[in-house]
Structure 1
């Protein structure tokens, strides 16, 4: 069967199934469970009205339970067994994992990523949004800066591999060093600093995202507040940091936390650039190392990543709700 025909059948079955479900559930609710009766007609209508929203929510709740809650519970249960899944070892995978030097290195590197990347991407996005807002060619500049968002993480990694190449004829860094008379180096093998060379790739990608969101927020600032600050004698720096930034702080926090969630799940860049070698391991790449060797421990790492991401997601949702209100 061709993919186009498969897609059409899926759409027809999906849409038809949803329409049929809503018609059938309403009919059962109104005619069978709470039928209109002369003696209790008003009360039955109220009861049906209270139940009806849950009928509409049930498909989404069922899908979330099937594809989100069940895998989470199942993954945690799987992490309590050994590799074969036959022997229950309790928290053995977790205790072994926490005692490993590689895990501690991955956690430390993840903390570095979570601190540096959101801060750098948000700051650069805000800076670009402000500087290009009043320029005639600002939209062209924004388009060029946003362009890396269209590149996959693996594609971006391959691009930056040429930048970091230890051949002066290819790598920009070593080309500059060659002009200065220094010997070529491999930036990805420099301990500790190689993590920042990898982070630059994600900052390059995510700056465009931060720029678009923050540019819209800056344009939503009332002009009256800026004009009042100018009349009071405020300089451009005071207008930006004391007038504009406080008014879009909620948006800045949302952008920050959104990039943080992405950072905690990033895997492609590290895997494509170094494979986790040279002390560049992070939790997702650490999990991949064990996925083919020790499934129980890999599941334990995945559960730890979820626990780390969860508070950031909750904070992000709360901030988004505040912005909507």
Structure 2
């Protein structure tokens, strides 16, 4: 059965063309600025991949044989097309026309995400925004389905991935305002005794982090209610069916509930905060990554944090840091 030839290697084809034009491997090496050995190896690999010799090596200097002449005739348009593709790609990249594929955890996408899109809408750059859970976003970044990712946990064992700390937020106890009405002595310990803990699902990173923190605090509440999102979680909190542990950004994501809830601080510890990181491949999108970091911190400092502090007076000063 005849073997299908491999796709043409453009670098090897370039070496072949240079050897034909200069009449020697030495001349091709000088033209391309590489060693003669590199030219010989590239042409040998090209012949091997295509299953045909390309030079009549009995002649001095070696000249292209029938197969070589056929390839040389086809090579010009092929190389010209490759150069055109490269030039157009460079133009698009320089003009910012290639969309940046940014993946974010849901709470970030729903709060800071719109500000990112608004900020780049007046520039030539385009942005494609994905949301999801940290494990999925990490996998997509590793498999090059995303250019950058905002995650709450760094799980990639890849030295080529840059991890830039964005900010951190404190876990807080969340309860219905009506549950605190007329009471001044209620703290998180009181809530844990009086109400069940309404949880984020254990398949999410935030759910796992909160569960570890709750165990650290000695909160032993039966698993009755678990949710993937903050909206249904707060709907049960406002109905006084339990209390929750959440974060400022998650609360801002479901901010239509803010008028009906109150927050209480939780003890400081290494488990008491959720960290956000911007991940991207080393050497790519460095400039845009710096823009995302600066814009994110500006949005948090000048928009989200002041609004949350006004709506939730008991929110700790370092809730967003």
Flag the structure with more relative contact order, 1 or 2, with Cα contacts below 8 A and sequence separation at least 6.
Answer: 1
More helix by percentage: 1
Structure with larger Rg: 2
Q: TM-score, normalised by structure 2?
A: 0.23
